[in-house]
A and B are shown apart, each in its own frame.
Chain A
Amino acid sequence: MSTLAATHSRFTTGINHGKLGMWVFLASEIMFFSGFFGAFIVLRNLNLDVFTAGAHQLDKVVATINTAVLITSSLTMALSHLALERGHQEKFRLFLFITILCAFGFLGIKSYEYAAKFSHDIYPWTNTFFATYFTMTGFHALHVIGGLIPMIWMLGKSMVKGYPVEMHHRVEALGLYWHFVDLVWIFLFPTLYLIF
C-alpha cells in the first residue's frame, strides 16, 4: 500500500476533500447565477419601462422580512456546525432544527408572494420583467429545497443515534452551500426589488 502511494504523485491539499469539492461546486454556482444577472441587466436596459413598472409591483416589505429569515438561518447553520464540532449534540440539533424552520419559512413566504402575483394575473409569461423575476427566484427557491433535504436527513440521523462528531466536516460543507444560497439572495434582493 505504501509503495503504491509512493509511486503515485499525491499532493495533500491540507483541506478536507469534501469541503474542497464543495468550494469547486460553489465556484461553478457563481458562474451559473452570473448568467442570470447578466441577462437581467441586458434585458433591463432594453426594456427599462417594463422593468421599472415591474419592480414597483413587487412586495418590498415581504421580501425584506424574507431576507431577515434567510440571514437568521445562516446564523443558526453556522452555530449548528460550531456546536457539533465542539461536541454539543443538543445545541447542534436545536440550531439545525431552527435552520430547517427558517428554510420552510422562507419557502412559505415565497409561495405567498407567488400566489399574490398569480391572483393579480401576473405570470412568468406576463412580460420580460416577470419572466426574469420568476426564473431567478425560482432557481433560488430550488436551491433552498436542495439544501433542506440533506438538513432534514442530518437532523433525522442525529435524533436516531446522534450525529458523529468526526463527521462534522459534512455539516460544514452543507453549511458552505447554505451560506452560498444566502449570498445569492443578498444579490437577488436589491436587484429585483430595490432598483427602479
Chain B
Amino acid sequence: MASGLSFEEIQKSYLKVFFALLVLTALTVAVTTVHFGDTANIVVGVVIALLKAGLVAYIFMHLKFDNRKLRYFITVPMFFFVTLVFTLTMLGL
C-alpha cells in the first residue's frame, strides 16, 4: 500500500477510520429511537451500513491505494446486492 507514508501516519488514518466506524455504529442504534416511518428507517439503516462498508473497504482493505481494477471485485457484486435488496423491498415480496 501507500509506501510513501510512515507507520505512524498510516496508523493515525486507521485510528480515524476506527473512530468513525464506532460513531456510525452509535448513530445507527440512536436513529432507531426516532421514528421517520417504516421505509425511511430502513433506508437510513442501509445508508449508514453502506457508509461503514465503504470505509472498511476503502481504507482497511486498501482499495484506496491498490490497483483500481480490484475495486470491481467488490463494487460489481455490491451493485447486484443493493439492487436485490431494493427491488425485493420495493416490490413488497
Contacts and interface: CB of A to CB of B under 8 A. Distances in A.
Interface of A: 13-15, 20, 23-24, 26-27, 30-31, 34, 37-38, 41-42, 45, 60, 64, 67-68, 71-72, 74-75, 77-79, 82-83, 85-86, 88, 172, 175-176, 179-180, 182-183, 186-187, 189-191, 194-195
Given A83-B7, A186-B49, A194-B45, A179 B60 contact: yes
B62 to A, nearest CB: 8
Interface of B: 1, 7, 10-11, 14-15, 17-18, 21-22, 25, 28-29, 32, 41-42, 45-46, 48-49, 52-53, 56-57, 59-62, 66-67, 69-70, 73-74, 76-78, 80-81, 84-85, 88-89, 92-93
B56 A27 contact: no
Contacts of B7: 82-83, 86, 88
B48 A24 contact: no
Contact of A78 (B14, B28, B41, B42): B14
B52 A186 contact: yes
Contacts of A20: 70
Nearest to A30: B77
A175 B41 CA distance: 32
Closest 9 CB pairs of A and B: A30-B77, A23-B73, A190-B45, A41-B88, A75-B18, A78-B60, A34-B81, A27-B73, A179-B60
A41 B10 CA distance: 39
Given A14-B67, A15-B70, A195-B45, A71 B25 contact: yes
B92 A186 contact: no
B66 A15 contact: yes
B25 to A, nearest CB: 5
Given A23-B73, A82-B14, A41 B57 contact: no
